[in-house]
C-alpha cells in the first residue's frame, strides 16, 4: 500500500504496468529495424543537405564569375581604348604620366582578378573530385544520378574560368606591351635629343680649346660664326634623321 498526499486511503494500492506481450526474441528485431530506418533517414537528409549546399556553392561561383567577367570587360575598355573617342585617346597619349598611372591601376586589378580565378579553379576541381568519388562509391544510387547534373555545371564553370583566365593573361600581356611602348618612346626621345645635340657640342668643344693660335679668336664675327655653325649642324642632323625615317 502506497500513500500519496493527504487524500491517501488505505484502499489505494499500486497497480503494476502491463508487460509487453512481445517475446524477448522480437525486441532486438524491432530495435534493429528502428536503427536501420533512422540510418536511412539520416543518409537521405544528409544527401539532400549536401545537394542543397552544392547548389548554393555553384550559384555563388557563377555570380563570382559574372562579376569577374564584368571587371575584365571594363579593364579591357580602359586598356585598349578601342571604345574611346579620338580626342580622348590623343589626350591620354599626350600625357605619359597619366597613362602610366592608368596602366599601374590596370595591372593591380588584373592581379586581383587572377587571384580570384585561381582560387575559384581550385574550389571547382576539389568539388569535382568529391563528386567523382561519390559516384564511384555507389554508381546506382539516387545521389549518384543527381550528381551528374552538378558535374556538368562544374565542368561548365571550369571552362568559363579557363576562358576568363585566358582573357586575363591576354590583357596582362597587353598592359606589359603598352608599358614597353611608353618606355621605348621615352628612350627614343632621349636618343634623338642626344643625336641632335652631338654636333653643336662638338663645335663648342672645338672652339673651347685653350690654344694660343686659333684664327677664329681674332675674328670680329667669330662668336656669331660658332653659334651659326652649331645651329646649322643641328639642322643638318635633324634633316638626316627625318630622311632616314627615325623621326
| pLDDT tens per residue, range 57-66 | 888 999 999 9
Which of 110-119, 181-190, 218-227 has maximum average pLDDT? Answer: 110-119
Domain ranges of the chain: 39-188
pTM here is 0.66
Whole-number Å distance between alpha carbons of 170 and 176: 10
What backbone torsions phi and psi does residue 240 show, to the nearest 5 degrees? -60, -40
Mean pLDDT of 177-191: 89
Mean of the per-residue pLDDT values of the chain: 78
DSSP state, residue 245: T
Asked if residues 197 and 234 have their Cβ atoms less than 8 Å apart, the reply is yes
**Range with the lowest mean pLDDT among 89-93, 165-169, 195-199?**
89-93
Cell of 87: 580626342
Which residue in this structure is represented by grid cell 693660335?
Answer: 213
Asked if residues 128 and 151 have their Cβ atoms less than 8 Å apart, the reply is yes
Q: What pLDDT, on the 0 to 100 scale, is given for residue 46? A: 62
Q: What pLDDT, on the 0 to 100 scale, is given for residue 171? A: 93
In the three-class reduction of DSSP (H, G, I as helix; E, B as strand; rest coil), residue 212 is classed as coil
In the three-class reduction of DSSP (H, G, I as helix; E, B as strand; rest coil), residue 126 is classed as helix
Best CA proximity match to 70, nearest among 167, 176, 170, 169: 167
Q: What pLDDT, on the 0 to 100 scale, is given for residue 112? A: 93
Gap between the terminal Cα atoms of the chain: 122
pLDDT beyond 80 at 143: no
Whether domain 39-188 has CATH 1.10.3470: the reply is: no
Amino acid at each position: 500500500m502506497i500513500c500519496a498526499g493527504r487524500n491517501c486511503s488505505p484502499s489505494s494500492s499500486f497497480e503494476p504496468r502491463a508487460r509487453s506481450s512481445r517475446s524477448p526474441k522480437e525486441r532486438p528485431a524491432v530495435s534493429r529495424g528502428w536503427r536501420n530506418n533512422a540510418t536511412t533517414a539520416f543518409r537521405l537528409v544528409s544527401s539532400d543537405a549536401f545537394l542543397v549546399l552544392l547548389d548554393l556553392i555553384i550559384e555563388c561561383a557563377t555570380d563570382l564569375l559574372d562579376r569577374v567577367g564584368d571587371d575584365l570587360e571594363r579593364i579591357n575598355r580602359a586598356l585598349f581604348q578601342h571604345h574611346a573617342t579620338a580626342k580622348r585617346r590623343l589626350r591620354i597619349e599626350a600625357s605619359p604620366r597619366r597613362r602610366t598611372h592608368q596602366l599601374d591601376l590596370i595591372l593591380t586589378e588584373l592581379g586581383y582578378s587572377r587571384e580570384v580565378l585561381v582560387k575559384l579553379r581550385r574550389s571547382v576541381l576539389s568539388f569535382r573530385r568529391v563528386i567523382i568519388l561519390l559516384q564511384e562509391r555507389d554508381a546506382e544510387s539516387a545521389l549518384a544520378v543527381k550528381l551528374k547534373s552538378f558535374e556538368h555545371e562544374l565542368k561548365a564553370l571550369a571552362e568559363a574560368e579557363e576562358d576568363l583566365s585566358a582573357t586575363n593573361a591576354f590583357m596582362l600581356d597587353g598592359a606589359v606591351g603598352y608599358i614597353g611602348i611608353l618606355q621605348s618612346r621615352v628612350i627614343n626621345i632621349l636618343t634623338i635629343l642626344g643625336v641632335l645635340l652631338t654636333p653643336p657640342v662638338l663645335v663648342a668643344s672645338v672652339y673651347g680649346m685653350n690654344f694660343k693660335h686659333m684664327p677664329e679668336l681674332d675674328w670680329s664675327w667669330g662668336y656669331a660664326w660658332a653659334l651659326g655653325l652649331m645651329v646649322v649642324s643641328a639642322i643638318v642632323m635633324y634633316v638626316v634623321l627625318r630622311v632616314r625615317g627615325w623621326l
